[in-house]
Amino acid sequence: MDKMYQDKVVMITGAASGFGAMAAKRFAAQGAKLGLSDINEVALRDVVVGLESDGVEVVSDVVNVAEEAQVAQHVAHISQRFGGIDVGINNAGIGHDVRPLQFLTTDDFDVMMNVNAKGVFLCMKYQIPLMQQAGVGAILNVASAAGLVGAAHLSLYAAAKHAVVGLTKAAADENATRGIRVNALCPSFSATPMVDEMAEVVGTRTGLNREDTLKQIASRVPMRRVSEPEEVVQAMLWINAPENSFMTGQAIAIDGGLTAV
């Protein structure tokens, strides 16, 4: 029996760690060829070496998604090697210091918007023409539960992720008759390096240890835990599956009920 993504070309940004690294492994296990990028060259190389040792076909580039020339070159590299892109998972993103809005800076604002919002825009800008030529494609932009509701002390992150949801809905509308589906994934807190780093910062500031800080974070979620990355990546596989052919323009929360209350 063919695998779900047999011979499909899947582009994943932010592929060196967290959701991106796990997604690379899971899509590869389902038969995909991969186009991977990250700004962290060493960590990306480790992921690629592991995949190639298992016989996975991979194109990889060190990319800052906020730089248009780098994104354009990466998309062209994938297309030249594999002939196009079937699925684009625009996952690269960063957080900022956990502080009230008035203590953040214009530099913080610019960095958040450049990486988390402009990065998604640039990826779609170069993915969509390839998919239009093919007459089919699926794009999944990784936003956040913070892109659906307010996020105290994470205002700029929330603003950028709201922008991702807006870009997603507009691109979905523009391409609904072109065979291209565009959706956003909105996870809440998950056991990823980004959340670990946030727990470390908050813990240092409040005097709590990392474990107690993570418990405090989890207490805000109705299910009283953070997600496992596997739970989020499983949603990526389902949302982009060819069989899921009538879903577009959606912001899907994988959040333990956080945005339901």
Annotated catalytic sites, by residue? Answer: 157
User: Facing residues of 185 across strands?
Assistant: 142, 252
User: Facing residues of 251 across strands?
Assistant: 184
Nearest to 153 by CA among 92, 216, 74: 216
Task: Give me the helices (H) in 1-138, please.
Answer: 18-29, 41-53, 68-82, 106-112, 119-134
Q: How far apart are CA 55 and CA 57, in angstroms?
A: 6
| 3-state SS, residue 227 | strand
- Residue 10 and residue 59 in contact, taking contact as beta carbons nearer than 8 Å: no
| 3-state SS, residue 39 | coil
For residue 117, give the DSSP letter: I
The 10 Å CB-count burial string (b at 16+, else e) for 207-226 is: eeeeeebbeebbeebeeeeb
Distance of CA 147 to the CA centre of its chain: 13
